[in-house]
Amino acid sequence: MTDMTNLTPAQVRELIRRGKITTPTSGMCPGFAQANLVVLPKNLAYDFLLFAQRNPKPCPILEVSDVGSRELKKIAPGADIARDIPKYRVYENGVMTGEYTDVSHLWRDDLVSFLIGCSFSFESELIEAGIEMRHNTMGRNVPMYITNLPCEPAGVFHGNMVVSMRPIPYDQVVKAVTVTAAIPSVHGAPVHIGDPKAIGIEDLSRTDFGDPVDIYPGEVPVFWACGVTPQSAVMASKPPFVITHAPGHMLITDVKNVSLKG
């Protein structure tokens, strides 16, 4: 495969659009924010936008398209929402009915696209600060858990917060908090530090999404609000039609992670 580290986000999106890239986007275009996608019919868009407004930590909205539009004006000008993500999933009434590398044939005039921030953005800042991302070291997906922390419901959408966990050495915990607190538009500061049971997680070795990782002596589990939360809330309401990105297959935006700092 081409070495893509020197390609711009627009160039990578072009390769994705032409079907040359269908893999997960992790590691592509370092420094640029990647985004989760949720596409809903207009009649559910208000409830979803309100859910995000009421739960900004797990649901940091980067941009909302105009109704029916496949364009993004702010975070990825020139992108085609229906073609520039390597893999999509379509759900009907809560059941996955297909995976596609292009959903332009399924597009409708009543669809609204929500682009939601992703922890890839703050991970690069943590790494920059000298903090190891254990799941990267172990070659795994980040461990994610459904907590007992209820989200504020909005209309048809409700559910508990999903968190991602990273083991952090005690002497780096404060740094991990301050580094991520400075980026409120992608999840911000942790929601919990320490005992998993305090937020309803019984066993760290049993993840709800992603893979478990090792925690070494002298390390504490630190939990951040996770962008899987809104997808989880959407699925629970079983909408008649929804398009999302496939896990790990994100939209690569033109926005630098550093520009997401508050």
* Nearest residue (CB) to its own copies, 152 versus 214: 152
Give me the 19-38 binding string for its own copies, x by CB under 8 A, dash otherwise. --------------------
* Nearest residue (CB) to its own copies, 49 versus 222: 49
Residue with tokens 């859910």: 51
Which DSSP symbol is given to 18? T
**Shortest distance, position 49 Cβ to its own copies, whole Å:** 5
Residues 36-55 binding its own copies (CB under 8 A) are 42, 45-46, 49-50, 52-54
* Nearest residue (CB) to its own copies, 49 versus 103: 49
Residues 141-200 binding its own copies (CB under 8 A) are 152, 155, 181, 184, 188
**Shortest distance, position 133 Cβ to its own copies, whole Å:** 24
The alpha helices in 70-204, defined as continuous H runs, are: 120-128, 134-137, 173-181
* Nearest residue (CB) to its own copies, 19 versus 46: 46
* Nearest residue (CB) to its own copies, 2 versus 43: 43
Dihedrals φ, ψ of 28, to 5°? -75, 145
Give me the 105-134 binding string for its own copies, x by CB under 8 A, dash otherwise. ------------------------------
Dihedrals φ, ψ of 77, to 5°? -60, 135
**Shortest distance, position 253 Cβ to its own copies, whole Å:** 16
The residues that touch its own copies, with contacts defined as CB under 8 A, are: 42, 45-46, 49-50, 52-54, 61, 64, 67, 73-74, 152, 155, 181, 184, 188, 262
